[in-house]
Structure 1
Amino acid sequence: MSVPSNTESTPSNWRLVARMFGLAWRYRARCLQVLGLQLVLLTLGLSGLSLTGVGIDYIRHVLSERGDLPAEKLVPFPEEKLGFELPRDWEPMRVIVLIAGIILALAVTRALLNYLYTMAVNKLVQQEIVIHLRGEIYEKLQRLSFRFFDANSTGSIITRVTGDVQAVRMFVDQVLIQSVIMVVSLTVYVIYMASIHAGLALACLATTPVLWLISGLFSRRIQPAYARNRELMDGMVQNFAESIQGIQVTKGFGREREDREKFERSNQAVLAQQKQIFWSVSLFSPSVGFLTRVNMMVLLGYGGWLVVQGQLALGTGLVVFAGLLEQFSGQVNQVANIVNSVQQALIGARRVFEIMDAEVEVKNAPNPRRYPRLQGEVRFEKASFSYRGVESVVREVDLVVKPGQCVAILGATGAGKSALMSLIPRFFDVTGGRLLIDGVDVRELHLDDLRRNIGLVFQESFLFSNTVAANIAFGHPDATREQIEKAAKIAAAHDFITALPQGYDTVLGESGSGLSGGQRQRLAIARAVLLEPAILLLDDPTAAIDAGTEHEIFEALDNAIAGRTTFIVAHRLSTLRRADFIIVMEAGRIVQQGTHEELLRVSGPYMRVADLQLVDRGELQASAKVAAGAGGASTS
């Protein structure tokens, strides 16, 4: 059954940005280290640029003194910008070599610090933010109820844990850090340019407001495109996952070509959407680049005129200004990348925080009661359950199962059998009435204690790609080999396990490939009984196996059920007969209750099921006569 998603109002972009700032604040020490390195790099870069201008002015000064250049309208050499006074007996070449050596030393230092900066950023965003955030999301997924997984596709969840986490990382790396660096750098560049010549700085930066306007328009246009791209990526991943999981069905019906075409359509849809995004970005980036080139044209025209008029030095004036403007333009060009990154980060963050903010519907009470070992009495008192926004699937069920009793549940698809059983381990909580175990409301029990006292065997048992021993010990990883073998013997699995190539150390393929259905079920039973649970839940464990295998499973089930409170969803009379009593469900209610023999004496759903399965009418009548002779069997 599809369960509606539990979603709140969509958070605004500003709220998302604030939350991502909060995430970055956790790593503020590392962020400050990265920013500190960048400030040192900025200082070294400006120092090297300034010294380049000093060198050019010194060369012009020397040429002017020799008479190779006219001294008219020549700005004096700014010796004070060297930071020290040049000895008067030094040859010009010696001064030039000194300046060049200092510039080289600054360049080498800058290269080393760039390496440290790259390593610091990588450690921050890859080793800390991404790893920790993925861990938090995975931990949250473990606590969410089945309702969340019913409402969200596997493809969507996988994409959020992988690609969308990278988008949040992008915010810290390519938006937050780069934005701070850009703001600081632009401020320094503007102040430096204004100190050289305020009028020239104002003229060269006149196009900056136009740039911010274009950036705002681009931002509003590109965000919906990224949102749509994520939806298409979810669809493609989901398509791929289903293709792999259903490969046997695909091949069995000869639908390989259609399956390839379906995947190709989803793949092409992603490509077409990405082309639209790239087209928008490719228009925005050249626009920003054109505006920065306009600034350079203004510099050459106006700045060149100032040099000719003797109002601006060539080296520490025009050349340094040109270098600053080039650096300024480079930082401004980062606006395109930052705007592009922030849109991707917002979409990714929205999807990541949807998981982080998803309501944990089933959780421990503030002061849960601890019961490491339960006796196994299960009592439903007017218990009802409904999915959010969906009609009740369990309706006012009253049922008492004593410790050690086995109750079978029969009903058509959608009758509420599995939903009823899912309330016991609190996969969902009752929405009406109560469910008590050993006289305590399950909502007051600690979840770990509750679930460790419950063994589960599903119709299709999932096995992990691990050893046989590890699969059996999944719920009790500290179990000894002796305990594992004991559980396998109870489940009638020991003999076939020892016949495997490496016995209990045999590594199983995906989902237990290479084992028969009966073998997989027996491993699942062993996994359940290893916990020595007080309660055992069996969801139609023999539905998908043949009669021969069913006999093997019954041998294991008889051993597993002994002494445990057991609920078993079943449709076969061979299974139903083994129960102490049977309940029949229709539309979420218990409509019949009693032993096999009692129910055969009453017209109703159970009789109809029995009639269909007992082909020989005489066998049915014989069974009824035996039941009538038994008379007075008690019910629970």
Structure 2
Amino acid sequence: MQFIRLYGRVLGLLAADRWVAWGLALSALALAGLQFLEPVLFGRVVDLLSRSSSLGEQALWAEAATLLLVWGSVGLAGIGANVAVSLLADRMAHRNRLRMMNRYFSHVLSLPLAFHGDVQSGRLMKVMLVGSDNLFGMWLSFFREHLITFISALVLLPLTLVLNWRLGLILIVLVVVFTLVTAFVIRKTQAAQMQVERFHTRLAGNAQDALSNVMVVQSFTRLRSEAKQFSDIMRQVLDHQFPVLNWWAVVSVMTRACSTLTVIGIFVLGTVLHVRGQATVGDIVSFMGFATLLISRMEGAVAFISHLLFQAPALEEFFQVIDTRSTVPEKPDALDLPRSTGHVRFDHVGFAYPGGSRILADIDFDAPPGSTIALVGQTGAGKSTAMSLLQRLWDPVEGAVTLDGHDLRDITLESLRRNIGVVFQESMLFNRTIRENLLVGRPEASQEEIERACRLAEAHDFITRQPQGYDTMVGERGASLSGGQRQRLAIARALLKDPPVLILDEATSALDAATEARVQVALRNLMEGRTTFIIAHRLSTVREANTIMVFENGKVMERGTFEELVAADGRFAALVKTQLMGAQVPVAG
């Protein structure tokens, strides 16, 4: 059953703490045994009192003292075992909850951009937080309570048959009825609860989507529409949740009825057996204690199972993310590449997304160390896709991309990306201090190195004017800084990383002319001595490139220097004329 398989996997995550888990299991066995002894001892006390008239006072007190001493010892041992279970279970559950959060977080960060493009960040956060909390609750409740119930049902319950098999059969029937009713309701409600969890995920995704685009929501007066969409999903959650709750309410009523009938049955059958001389009053009292204990345990188990059913979809989502495999797997014997010389080659590269049509075809070029290569062309021509292959966000379906003669698939991802720096069109900053954002690519850099990089990036002066200088918080996505300031920080970050290969992905296209002029100075400092790839729509920014490649429909249609391509009067020349006509600026060269 899928339900049992999921539960088994949750417990299997504790493999690192298996010795603690075994210790808890032994403690649970001891607790189950001690709890089994208490009704037995109570029954023996009742039997002793019922025959007290036939015993002498001295014999009565001696036997009573022995029973009370044993009972007290059992009680103290039970308290000790409970304390041990609580402490060990709590610590193990907390430790493994954080361990699984760390594993999930690290795994999601390592997944390629293709995964993140398809999955909302709000959903990923919700899956991590809810999933890890559910794991914590399951581990804690299993070792604190439900392992004892399991042991009692499978091991100790048959021992009641030794005491009185007729009364023991009633308890076994009770357990069977509990199990059958619970299994039936699980089958009836499992699919519905999965649907409820899907709606919960949509709620989290829609909320994150609206909050991350709050400016659009307010500017386009989407407040009512977004709120209504949220309310509609909430109604669907309730419509699907209520039938599930109804079924479990029925289970609660039925289990309570079974419990009452069991107690009545033990009393009636015990009375009959007592009259026939087949059971003592102490036996009846002991079995009443067994029934009360077992009913309490079974009701707790049913509540736990119903809770687990509600948690199962969230846990399934958690494991789905954990099980997601990267589209760019790393070889076990991958090379940890030291600092590269920056020699990049695309060797007849072709690429298509899984199940999609060809996006790149026969891309073949060589970029010697220190050269500057510009990629130009219309949107969707394949420029950014080619640079995605250089960062190994995808693997080519034909040919190979190499760095210093090594196929990128033979290099560890960490060492590959350590050798590549990227300055994006949208400077992506963390909601942290300026210093922390700069240290992203090189955490060990000194203050002197940080300031040198910022001066080269034309950023030091505006940073020192900030309220706390380098320790100023930049806000979410760098909201407290202007576009030019954010971009110069991104350039300083790349300078500090000092990569031999650099990708400038529309690094100045979102800036005004005055800001772009300052950023271009910083970019020239950044490009010096590095193999640089420039993706640009503004053709004036690629004039100094050693080679310009014109992409069209996933192919390189032209290549050469700026002057050579303009003189050829082909596609590149047409693009230059179009831009110059649009800007109403005279053509030079």
The question of a shared fold, defined as TM-score above 0.5 by the shorter chain, is answered with: yes
Confirm or deny: 8 A CA contact 2:39 2:287 kept in the other structure.
Answer: no
The reply to whether residue 368 of structure 1 matches residue 334 of structure 2 is yes
Listed as ranges, the matches of 1:23-172 within 5 Å are: 23-62=13-52, 64-65=53-54, 89=58, 103=71, 106-107=74-75, 109-128=77-96, 130-172=97-139
Pair 98,603 (structure 1): closer, same or farther in 2 beyond 3 Å = same
Pair 440,197 (structure 1): closer, same or farther in 2 beyond 3 Å = closer
Q: Distance between the aligned counterparts of 2:143 and 2:186, measured in 1?
A: 16
The correspondence for 1:234, drawn from 196, 201, 214, is 201
The reply to whether residue 530 of structure 1 matches residue 496 of structure 2 is yes
Count of residue pairs brought into register by the alignment: 589
Confirm or deny: 8 A CA contact 1:363 1:447 kept in the other structure.
Answer: no
Q: Distance between the aligned counterparts of 1:463 and 1:520, measured in 2?
A: 8
- Whichever residue aligns with residue 245 of structure 1, its letter is S
Q: Distance between the aligned counterparts of 2:40 and 2:284, measured in 1?
A: 11
Pair 367,45 (structure 1): closer, same or farther in 2 beyond 3 Å = closer
Q: CA deviation digits over 1:133-163, x for unaligned, max 9?
A: 2222222223322222223332332233221
The structure richer in helix per residue is: 2
Q: Distance between the aligned counterparts of 2:447 and 2:214, measured in 1?
A: 36
Q: Which TM-score applies when normalising by structure 2?
A: 0.92
TM-superposed CA distance for 1:90, in Å, is 6.6
The correspondence for 1:223, drawn from 186, 190, 193, is 190
Equivalent position SS for 1:284: helix
The reply to whether residue 352 of structure 1 matches residue 318 of structure 2 is yes
- Whichever residue aligns with residue 89 of structure 2, its letter is V
Equivalent position SS for 1:371: coil
Confirm or deny: 8 A CA contact 1:370 1:446 kept in the other structure.
Answer: yes
Q: CA deviation digits over 1:423-466, x for unaligned, max 9?
A: 11212111111112223322223333321111111111111122
The correspondence for 2:403, drawn from 429, 433, 437, is 437
Q: Distance between the aligned counterparts of 1:532 and 1:617, measured in 2?
A: 35
Q: Distance between the aligned counterparts of 1:201 and 1:370, measured in 2?
A: 67
The correspondence for 1:282, drawn from 207, 228, 249, is 249
Equivalent position SS for 2:581: coil
Equivalent position SS for 1:462: coil
Equivalent position SS for 1:514: coil
Q: CA deviation digits over 1:234-260, x for unaligned, max 9?
A: 211111111221111112222222222
- Whichever residue aligns with residue 257 of structure 2, its letter is F
The reply to whether residue 245 of structure 1 matches residue 212 of structure 2 is yes
Query: Over aligned residue pairs, what C-alpha RMSD do you find?
Result: 2.8
- Whichever residue aligns with residue 46 of structure 2, its letter is I
Q: Distance between the aligned counterparts of 2:268 and 2:520, measured in 1?
A: 94
Pair 353,91 (structure 1): closer, same or farther in 2 beyond 3 Å = closer
TM-superposed CA distance for 1:298, in Å, is 0.9
Q: Which TM-score applies when normalising by structure 1?
A: 0.85
Confirm or deny: 8 A CA contact 2:266 2:288 kept in the other structure.
Answer: yes
The residue number in structure 1 matching 2:540 is 574
The residue number in structure 2 matching 1:540 is 506
Q: Distance between the aligned counterparts of 1:159 and 1:47, measured in 2?
A: 45
- Where structure 1 has 5 or more consecutive residues not aligned to the other structure, the ranges are 1-10, 66-76, 78-86, 627-636
Q: CA deviation digits over 1:392-450, x for unaligned, max 9?
A: 22221112222222222222222211111111121211111111222332222333332
Pair 101,209 (structure 1): closer, same or farther in 2 beyond 3 Å = closer
Q: CA deviation digits over 1:103-146, x for unaligned, max 9?
A: 45644553453233222221122222x22222222222233222
Pair 42,526 (structure 1): closer, same or farther in 2 beyond 3 Å = same
TM-superposed CA distance for 1:207, in Å, is 4.8
TM-superposed CA distance for 1:619, in Å, is 4.8
- Where structure 2 has 5 or more consecutive residues not aligned to the other structure, the ranges are none
Q: Distance between the aligned counterparts of 1:14 and 1:116, measured in 2?
A: 27
The correspondence for 2:176, drawn from 201, 209, 223, is 209
TM-superposed CA distance for 1:554, in Å, is 0.9
Listed as ranges, the matches of 1:144-543 within 5 Å are: 144-174=111-141, 180-203=147-170, 205-314=172-281, 316-344=282-310, 346-543=312-509
Equivalent position SS for 2:487: helix
Confirm or deny: 8 A CA contact 2:457 2:522 kept in the other structure.
Answer: yes
Deviates more, 1:108-117 or 1:569-578: 108-117
Confirm or deny: 8 A CA contact 2:381 2:553 kept in the other structure.
Answer: yes
Q: Distance between the aligned counterparts of 2:223 and 2:544, measured in 1?
A: 44
Confirm or deny: 8 A CA contact 1:168 1:348 kept in the other structure.
Answer: no
TM-superposed CA distance for 1:372, in Å, is 1.6
- Whichever residue aligns with residue 609 of structure 1, its letter is L
Equivalent position SS for 1:567: strand
Listed as ranges, the matches of 1:553-632 within 5 Å are: 553-615=519-581, 619-620=585-586, 622-623=587-588, 626=589
Q: Distance between the aligned counterparts of 1:134 and 1:311, measured in 2?
A: 58
Q: Distance between the aligned counterparts of 2:447 and 2:242, measured in 1?
A: 57
The correspondence for 2:515, drawn from 528, 531, 549, is 549
Q: Distance between the aligned counterparts of 2:285 and 2:498, measured in 1?
A: 82
Pair 538,43 (structure 1): closer, same or farther in 2 beyond 3 Å = same
Q: Distance between the aligned counterparts of 2:43 and 2:2, measured in 1?
A: 48
Q: Distance between the aligned counterparts of 1:548 and 1:54, measured in 2?
A: 95
Q: Distance between the aligned counterparts of 2:234 and 2:376, measured in 1?
A: 44
The residue number in structure 2 matching 1:69 is none
Confirm or deny: 8 A CA contact 1:483 1:530 kept in the other structure.
Answer: yes
Q: Distance between the aligned counterparts of 1:110 and 1:52, measured in 2?
A: 16
Pair 421,303 (structure 1): closer, same or farther in 2 beyond 3 Å = same
Structure 1 or 2, whichever has the larger Rg, is 1
Confirm or deny: 8 A CA contact 2:363 2:556 kept in the other structure.
Answer: yes
Confirm or deny: 8 A CA contact 2:343 2:403 kept in the other structure.
Answer: yes
Q: CA deviation digits over 1:66-102, x for unaligned, max 9?
A: xxxxxxxxxxx8xxxxxxxxx953776x976885676
Q: Distance between the aligned counterparts of 2:271 and 2:395, measured in 1?
A: 78
Q: Distance between the aligned counterparts of 2:473 and 2:487, measured in 1?
A: 17
Pair 367,108 (structure 1): closer, same or farther in 2 beyond 3 Å = closer
- Whichever residue aligns with residue 206 of structure 1, its letter is V
Confirm or deny: 8 A CA contact 2:345 2:365 kept in the other structure.
Answer: yes
Q: Distance between the aligned counterparts of 1:337 and 1:124, measured in 2?
A: 23
Q: Distance between the aligned counterparts of 1:366 and 1:188, measured in 2?
A: 46
Q: Distance between the aligned counterparts of 1:617 and 1:310, measured in 2?
A: 110
Q: Distance between the aligned counterparts of 1:210 and 1:447, measured in 2?
A: 56
- Whichever residue aligns with residue 270 of structure 1, its letter is V
Q: Distance between the aligned counterparts of 2:318 and 2:31, measured in 1?
A: 34
Q: Distance between the aligned counterparts of 2:583 and 2:439, measured in 1?
A: 46
Q: Distance between the aligned counterparts of 1:37 and 1:185, measured in 2?
A: 13
- Whichever residue aligns with residue 50 of structure 2, its letter is R
Confirm or deny: 8 A CA contact 1:57 1:313 kept in the other structure.
Answer: yes
Q: Distance between the aligned counterparts of 2:45 and 2:143, measured in 1?
A: 37
Deviates more, 1:30-39 or 1:532-541: 30-39
Confirm or deny: 8 A CA contact 1:370 1:449 kept in the other structure.
Answer: yes
Equivalent position SS for 1:422: helix
TM-superposed CA distance for 1:602, in Å, is 4.1
Confirm or deny: 8 A CA contact 2:24 2:143 kept in the other structure.
Answer: no
Confirm or deny: 8 A CA contact 2:375 2:549 kept in the other structure.
Answer: yes
